[in-house]
Structure 1
Amino acid sequence: MGYFLTVFGGTCWAVSGACGQFLFENRGLDANWLVTMRLLLAGLLLSGYSVVRWRGKALEVFRSWRSVGALLVLGMMGLGLCQYAYFRSIELSNAATATTLQYTGLVLVMLWVAVTDRRLPRRSEVIAVACAMAGAYLLATHGDPSQLVLSTTALFWCLVGAAAFAIYSVQPRGIILRYGTLPVTGFGMLIAGLVLCVLFKPWHLVGEWDGVTVAGLIFIVIFGTLLSFCCYLEGVRRIGASKGSILAAVEPVASALLSVFWLGVPLGTMDFAGIALIVAAMVLLAGDGSAKPDQSEKSLKNR
């Protein structure tokens, strides 16, 4: 069950990215509106669930200025920027490329851990960095340095997404261990959604609206955000963080397959080679971890 839940969560993330690309290309939606509504609706549902389940304990995160500050950083610089950069890069390129390049953020996480632990990177980590950089190079240039396959803007947002992914992976560890994963993530999403509402004014509808558009939005919010996160979290709790991180490699692979067979994106040999190299980097980095259950959810239950 743990393996199934982890793979299911990663697959849902991949399908939500492909749904986003479909809505951008066929229904005229844009990343500004879609990301704002995704974070706002998912934040309301997840934080509401947390309050109902844990009552006052879920709101304890707002009782100290330090935790509120950490929550604001998570919401705006982690979740908000990560999600916006991800869907913006999909809008400018495609789901497979955006998803794969965002996972190069794992390299930044590895470098940060090495610096904070005051140690040199391990051999497997150095190889992983080389694989990730080579994969990103192939995706961006197809092996020809004189020709940039991605637009400069698309590459910029892919790299911003990778950096935000690294922030999201490292910054909230302390606050999550203290207050629990679901409340912190729910309130972080809600904060990000409210900030984006001020910037992008989502009450002005964009694009063509029909049953397909509504179904795509519902899938992105429910399956691509709430269920994917909860299933992945429960899967990692059952099988350990190391195995869970390796199984997360299903997301860029699934994104590539969906891009080719559903969205008709012409991925070539160099694209698949780049995706394979970045997935290999993920597996190498995850292989160094210990397979211990996630403690963040357990911490809230025990309080």
Structure 2
Amino acid sequence: MKKILPYLMIASGASLWGIIAYFVKGLADYGFTSMEIVAIRVIYAAIFLLLIGVARYRNQMKLKSLTDLRLFVGTGIFSIVFFNFCYFTTISQMNISIAVILLYTAPAFVTVLSFIFLKESLTLPKILAVAGTIMGCVLIAGITSGQSDITMLGIITGLGSGLFYALYTIFGKFALMKYKPFTITMYTFLVAAVSLIPVTKLWQKLDLLLNGEVLLYSIGLGLIPTVIAYFLYTWGLEKTEGSKAAIIATIEPVVATLLGVFLYGEKLVAIQLAGALLILSSVIIVNLSFGKKKITKSVEETV
């Protein structure tokens, strides 16, 4: 049981990421924009992380230098804010299952960006994985199927979510040289929250935010598929190889697809299913190609 438990924790965390659309759609039904929903997520997540930090990780809450805030501008704004905005916009444009599959182009982006910025090797399996991801996106886009539920905006923001999600790994790689995963996560969400409050002006919707159902959606979004999911995944990750964890985490799009099918009555045609399988296969290939390397294991799935 001890050997299986870490795998179960990773799968549980990834499954919670898969249900994020439930909270996003719930808030969208009340008229919140994609950027406002991003703000709600990061604000509540930051509050929960600060409380957890005070209770358990006080020694990890201090910055070694104020100049290090630039690292968290990278993880918090250029990754978390833009990633969530693109992802939530895609969810509003297309099927949940397609949105989450497009998000899973992130490993392909990580492979290319790591080659450019981190000087990591570009092996044949990685190249094949990137090619498979591109082909999968082409199939999902329905270029040959003429699907009316596919929008150009949805495709662009879907790929954007994968790109900005990948940037978290790149910025996080540098942040890990100086800080623990909890410190990175807390300041990432804190910087994101502080930057979005004046931009979204959520205080103008305070009455709506205090609505009972909106409050439940908001707390749920910041807690369940964010903070709890992160801790479950990280707990399992500490006892599991990074490559294995990333493969187990591909249960996320499966859960998201089931959510879309059974809760929202969404459907996928055969060509889109083929594209989804190509992308998920590419995710497995690119993670297996890392072998026992753990260059990103503490940061790749903390969002």
- TM-score category of the 2 structures, normalised to the smaller one: 0.7 to 0.9
Partner amino acid for 1:21?
Answer: K
Residues 265-303 of structure 1: per-residue CA shift (max 9 Å, x gap):
122222222211111111001111234678859xxxxxx
Cα distance in 1 for partners of 2:233, 2:34 equals: 24
- Per the alignment, residue 69 of structure 1 pairs with 70
2:33 maps to which residue?
30
Query: What is the number of equivalent residue pairs in this alignment?
Result: 293
Q: Could you list the per-position Cα deviations for residues 202-239 of structure 1 after superposition, in whole angstroms to 9, with x for gaps in the alignment?
A: 12339798654443333211111001111111111111
Q: Does 1:60 align with 2:63?
A: yes
From the superposition, tell whether residues 290 and 119 of structure 1 become closer, same or farther in structure 2 (CA, over 3 Å): closer
Paired with 1:175 and 1:117, the residues of 2 have a C-alpha distance of 13
Instruction: Determine helix, strand or coil for the equivalent of 1:191.
Output: helix
Give the TM-score, by structure 2 length. Answer: 0.87
- Contact 1:16–1:219 at 8 Å: present in 2 too? no
Residue 20, structure 1, aligned to residue 21, structure 2: no
Name the structure 1 match of 2:98: 97
Q: Is the 8 A contact 2:234 2:298 kept in 1?
A: no
**1:290 partner SS:** coil
> 2:257 matched to 1:253?
no
CA gap of 1:278–1:221, structure 2 versus 1, over 3 A, is: same
Query: Partners of 2:26 and 2:60 in 1: how far apart?
Result: 40
Structure 1 distance, partners of 2:208, 2:167, is 32
In 1, Cα distance between the equivalents of 2:209 and 2:42? Answer: 21
Q: Percent identity?
A: 22
Distance in 2 separating the partners of 1:150 and 1:295 = 33
Query: 1:241 Cα shift?
Result: 0.5
Instruction: Determine if contact 1:27/1:208 at 8 Å carries over to the other structure.
Output: no
Residue 194 in 1 paired to residue 194 in 2? yes
Q: How does 1:212-231 map to 2 (within 5 A)?
A: 212-231=213-232
Q: Is it true that 1:7 corresponds to 2:8 in the alignment? A: no
Asked if the contact 2:42/2:189 (under 8 Å) is kept, the reply is yes
CA 1:166 to 1:119, structure 2 compared with 1: closer, same or farther past 3 Å? closer
> What residue number does 1:113 align with?
114
> How large is the Cα RMSD of the aligned pairs?
2.6
Inter-partner Cα distance in structure 2 for 1:208 and 1:268: 38
Is the Cα–Cα contact under 8 Å of residues 3 and 235 in structure 1 kept in the other structure? yes
**Aligned pairs (5 A) from 1:124-135:** 124-135=125-136
> Which residue identity is paired with 1:5?
M
1:7 maps to amino acid: A
Q: Work out whether residues 140 and 148 of structure 1, in 8 Å CA contact, stay in contact via their aligned partners in 2.
A: no
State the Cα distance separating 1:195 from its structure 2 match: 1.2
Maintained 8 Å contact 1:8/1:231: yes
Higher deviation after alignment, 200-209 or 231-240: 200-209
Are the counterparts in 2 of residues 11 and 251 from structure 1 also a CA contact under 8 Å? yes
> Is 2:286 the partner of 1:285?
yes
Other-structure match for 1:47: 50
SS in 2 for 1:179: coil
Give the Cα–Cα distance (whole angstroms) in 2 for the partners of residues 210 and 47 of structure 1: 24
Q: Deviations over 1:187-211 (max 9, x none)?
A: 1111111211111111233979865
The amino acid of 1:9's aligned partner reads G
Q: Which amino acid aligns with 2:176?
A: I
Distance in 2 (alpha carbons) for counterparts of 1:286 and 1:163: 17
**Range that drifts further, 243-252 or 47-56:** 47-56
Q: What is the distance in 2 between the residues matched to 1:207 and 1:221?
A: 17
Compute the displacement of 1:5 (Å): 0.7
Q: Distance in 1 between matches of 2:228 and 2:124?
A: 36
